[in-house]
Amino acid sequence: MLLSREEIPSQYTWNAPSVFSSPEAWEQAYQTLEDEIPALEAYQGKLGEGPDTLLAWFEVYEQVARLLGKLFVYAGMSFAVDTADQEAAARRERVQSLAARFYAAVSFVNPELIAIGFDTLRAWMKENPRLAVYAHAFDELERQQAHVRSAEVEALLGALNDPFRSAASIHGILADADLKFEPARGSDGRTWQVAQGSIGALITHPDGEVRRTAWENYADAYLGVRNALGVCLATGVKQNVFRARARNYPSSLEAALDPHAIPVSVFHNLIATFRRRIPLWHRYWALRKRVQGVERLPVWDIKAPLLKEKIRIPYEQAVEWVIAGLEPLGEAYIAALRRGLTEERWVDVYPNRGKRSGAFSSGSPGTHPFIMMSYNEDIFSLSTLAHETGHSMHSYLAWKHQPFIYSRYSLFVAEVASNFHQALVRSYLLKTQTDRAFQIAVLEEAMSNFHRYFFIMPTLARLELAIHERVERGEGLTAEILTNLMTDLFAEGYGEEVAYDRQRVGITWAQFPNHLYANFYVYQYATGISAANALAQKVLGDESGESAARYLDFLKAGGSRYPLDALALAGVDMTSPEPVERAFDVLETYVARLEALLT
């Protein structure tokens, strides 16, 4: 049974008081920000008065935006670890509403900057050198000016941010707080609690009956509310289409990629390469089928343990191995990470009742880069820790080396640092832990990771494209349509090797309540793991340290460069399909090593 939140020792919980000392302190900051909104609105119509006024605006904006970031972080922390906490839920809703007011209040800025003119803005940067830091931001705005609407329309679009979160919020609450899962049953009759924090461990359980019943009961709970969730997702897609059209984009895909200067060919290259290399996944399913001695691999056994013995990895050991694996990045990097993991309590470690599903890295300039996860003392949890610390160190270095305006980096590069960490730690473990069982465990984890990033996510990306195109054509979108589309895509990926139930496989779309509401986010998991493995190979093969230094420069760049330019700085060209092909080559080496070890 999962522990309650109060039963988790404090050293394994993240340091929320470092953001605000108490809910009362959060309330005071909330009021402060609410009182500052009129100061932002007072600049409307005045930015063109000159460089000093413009600089003053940026200073006020950044001060308020920093505080908003901290309010978001604190509100999100308490809700994430106990989604049934109504006070935490209320804080989360309130700060989202306040953020919508904030964005509406500053919506006049881009139209006014465009009206000032970019030649004038560049002249002002020379007149007042303190404005020079905004050069890249001005370049981005100039490139995007065709999609910036009038101040009135921008205010309306900003105000829509809050109500447009409703579909995703409802989906998330249903999934994380209200869904009731039937317990899994073992072959010995023992029952196991199915929850968002435990499903990952249950579908890798050594008892096949636990895996089957956990997988089925998890899917069945979603199937029980599929129509409501289908309406939620259809609403989210319609909102994306609305936003794209409101900003004069021909499609939701272009609306998602163009703001970051990413051509749609990057998306289509990924999908084309994935479809071409699907037979490699069929080869892996065939290997698992042979190991288990079955004619077709049951879908709930895709992550069945390949060996009977389970390697237990306490959290403290995982911390040490992660740090050791990242030594190629230098002493300063390692020292900062160790301090975060052992002293500053960046991580909320263990599962508890009500904790939301998955894992993530959070934070804002002025806070630690926090991590939420559900550590289960196995190789998969070690890998999750490596992954999330990659995100956190990316944020840590971006916040440290960039001004506030460039402290956030694009989602396109976000998954690079996380998967890079996993690649380095995986390489370290394969070199230092020579026991056959441990080697198999590491490779099994690698395949699980690639399964999520290089099988599930491209499949979801294909679904995302299909459903957005349906809505853009004026066609309907229901739970049944979503489920059938999802199943047909998985059928291609599974081939003849995997046996599955169409409804239970098809409901996979409902099990990603955050991802599919972020317009064309999921494909970036696959591009991220591609770039990460390309860069990891460079760093591991370069004893001079030059590749590691270039990689650190990429992390430090934050949002000061376009994503493709930042990755080029590190040494990878994502406009080409080559990094995706190379990642599939890495995947193929893992399959081959497993085939040899399991012969």
Backbone CA torsion sign across 221, 225, 231, 236: negative
Residue in the structure block whose two tokens are 């730690």: 425
Pairing of strands 370-372, 360-362: antiparallel
Pairing of strands 370-372, 347-348: parallel
- Tally of CB atoms within 10 A around 11: 9
Of the candidates 326, 301, 257, which has an alpha carbon nearest to the alpha carbon of residue 464? 257
C-alpha span between 327 and 331 (Å, rounded): 7
Classify residue 545 as left (phi > 0), alpha (psi -120 to 50) or beta: left
Q: How far is CA 574 from CA 266, 275, 540, 589, in A?
A: 7, 18, 20, 22
Backbone CA torsion sign across 412, 413, 414, 420: positive
Residue 428: alpha-carbon gap to chain centroid: 24
Annotated catalytic residue within 388, 445, 464, 472: 388
> DSSP string of 467-533?
HHHHHHTT----HHHHHHHHHHHHHHHHTTTEE--HHHHHGGGGG-TTGGGSTT-THHHHHHHHHHH
Is 331 part of the annotated catalytic residue set? no
Residue 524: alpha-carbon gap to chain centroid: 9
Q: How far is CA 335 from CA 327, 329, 331, 338, in A?
A: 10, 11, 6, 5
**Long-range contacts for 122-129 (Cβ within 8 Å, ≥24 apart)?**
124/50, 124/51, 124/54, 125/51, 127/51, 128/51, 128/52, 128/55
Q: Which two tokens stand for residue 319?
A: 């911390």
C-alpha span between 299 and 26 (Å, rounded): 46
DSSP for residue 162: T
Q: Which residues of 217-230 are buried (b: 16+ CB within 10 A; e: fewer)?
A: bbbbbbbebbeebb
Work out the burial of residue 238: count CB atoms within 10 Å of its CB; fewer than 13 is exposed, 13-18 middle, 19 or more buried: middle
C-alpha span between 460 and 56 (Å, rounded): 44
Active site residues: 388
